[in-house]
Amino acid sequence: MSPEEALALDAADPGHRELFDIPPAEPFGEVAYFAGNSLGLRPKATRTELLEDLDSWGALGVEGHLEGKRPWLPYHELLTAPAARLVGALPSETVVMNSLTVNLHLLMVSFYRPTPSRYRILIEDSAFPSDSYAVQSQARFHGYDDAVVRVQPAEVLDRLGDDVALVLLGGVNYLTGELMDIPAITAAGQSAGAVVGWDLAHAAGNVPLALHEWGVDFAAWCSYKYLNSGPGSLAGAFVHERHLSGDRPRFEGWWSTDAATRFEMAPYSRPPQSADAWQVSNPPIFSMSPVRTSLEIFDRIGITALRERSLRLTAYLESLLDVPIITPTDPARRGAQLSLRISGALTAGELSKQLRFEYGVIADAREPDVLRLAPVPLYSTYHDCWRAAAALAEVIPG
């Protein structure tokens, strides 16, 4: 495939690159950016809209809570409905708050309730380390040092048993890019008597989700990867509506109580029957602003259209590569990612540096031998894919 053919594909199947700031790379003009599964690029509107929110602070001081273009007191509600649409949930089931691992801990307070006969936590063997640390620490907190069971994704259904209290898996595996069968695993885990939760860090904004329809018990996701909300930005959380009433244990704070009575300053909480009840703290407005900007882009374009372009773009990149790929070959079983197994004198980290500084291609390395390429449908191009494949062919001769 020639660069001219790649450019022709871009003309016929354009993404939305014009909405984003693309880092420069001399002498190539712009980088070919394949690290959106680690940190998404900045939407151009983010700077303008964040400055608008900052200016409200300067112009209004404390009155910005109730006045201005986007008052702060109800600001988090601006994110609820678009976040719910993105993950296939009801607004009452969805909240944007905290960071991903904090949300997982807050949710496990409610949903990991071990007993002497049912206390194990099932995770995938290649889970992101933060998930491993989180479930291990939750198990230890409850007095179980041997609770965590690590399995290969294909073995999850075989390991379900009456000793499993919680199944917590990545919707799309961070290392391999494999898309898990979320509805089937959820149904099987619940049938076995377990609670089923999902880490959607690599799934939200990457693949269509239907958390309410699938009956997922709870889920959490970050917003700085495919959701392009900035480094360490706020995360999302989902709690299925069947869990929103009743007396399920939960940590609470200032923002856990019903907004209608919050300023009565009562000494006890009156939690709403929504995911807002899992909030603890006053939300950080200037961190919410980029999330709101990003969610508006997804609302406008639609995750279905993005997924369709993602399938085309990822398949095109795959067709150009002559390197072992550990991501599933079935397009339905992967997200916008191809993970390459690197062999030879260079480590993955050394290879990624060479690609960046000699070819203007930014990829993500997982040492010692996995290079991850994420052709993000919002801003990646077919010509980017051609550049990455051509660079790899020079650096790793066949």
The reply to whether 214 falls in a domain is: yes
CA distances, 52 to each of 17, 56, 64, 83, 275 (Å): 23, 6, 12, 22, 28
**Position 91 in a domain:** yes
Q: Decide if 61 is inside a domain.
A: no
Statement to judge: residues 288 and 390 lie in one domain: no
DSSP string of 20-57? EEPPEETTTEE-EE-BTTTSPPEEHHHHHHHHHHHHHH
CATH number of the domain encompassing residue 317: 3.90.1150.10
- pLDDT recorded at residue 32: 98
Among 237, 271, 300, the domain-final residue is 300
pLDDT for 247: 82
Question: Are 334 and 281 found together in one domain?
Answer: no
Inform me whether the pLDDT recorded for 246 exceeds 80.
no
pLDDT digits (tens, 9 = 90+) for 200-218: 999 999 999 999 999 999 9
Order of strands across the sheet with 370-373?
338-341, 370-373, 364-366
Burial of 40 (0-12, 13-18, 19+ CB in 10 A): buried
Q: Is 104 a domain residue? A: yes
231 and 133 both lie in a single domain: yes
Residues 37 and 185 in one domain: no
Flag whether 49 is in a domain: no
Q: Is the pLDDT of residue 258 over 70?
A: yes
- Domain closes at, from 233, 266, 300: 300
Give yes or no: residues 245 and 324 share one domain: no
What percent of the chain is modeled with pLDDT above 90?
A: 97
Calculate Rg over the CA atoms of the chain.
Answer: 22
Strand-pair partners of 238: 94, 219
Containing 106, the helix (H) or strand (E) segment is helix 100-111
Same domain? For 275 and 327 the reply is: no
Flag whether 66 is in a domain. no
For 218-237, give one letter per residue: b (16+ CB within 10 A) or e: bbbbbbbbbbbbbeebbbbb
The pLDDT tens digits for 354-383 are 999 999 999 999 999 999 999 999 999 999
Do 106 and 219 belong to one domain?
A: yes
Q: Residue 344's pLDDT is what?
A: 85
d(CA 202, CA 340): 17
Query: Is 123 domain-assigned?
Result: yes
398 pLDDT more than 80: no
Sequence length of the chain is 398
Residue 96 shares a structural domain with residue 32: no
How far is residue 374's CA from residue 337's CA, in Å, rounded to a whole number?
A: 4
Q: Identify the band that residue 264 occupies on the pLDDT scale cut at 50, 70 and 90.
A: very high
Helix (H) or strand (E) holding 213: helix 211-214
- Decide if 100 is inside a domain: yes
Mean pLDDT of the chain: 96
Domain that holds residue 383: 3-44+303-395
- Top mean pLDDT of 242-256, 263-277, 293-307 is at 293-307
Assign residue 175 the CATH number of its domain.
Answer: 3.40.640.10
Task: Report d(CA 169, CA 179) in Å as an integer.
Answer: 11
286 and 337 part of one domain: no
Whether residue 201 is found in the same domain as residue 266: yes
**Co-location of 199 and 172 in the same domain:** yes
Does residue 196 register a pLDDT over 90?
Answer: yes
Q: Is the entire prediction scored with pTM above 0.75? A: yes
Instruction: Pick the last residue of a domain from 256, 283, 300.
Output: 300
**Domains in the chain: how many in total?**
2
CA distance 333 to 177: 9
If asked whether residues 221 and 82 sit together in one domain, one would say yes
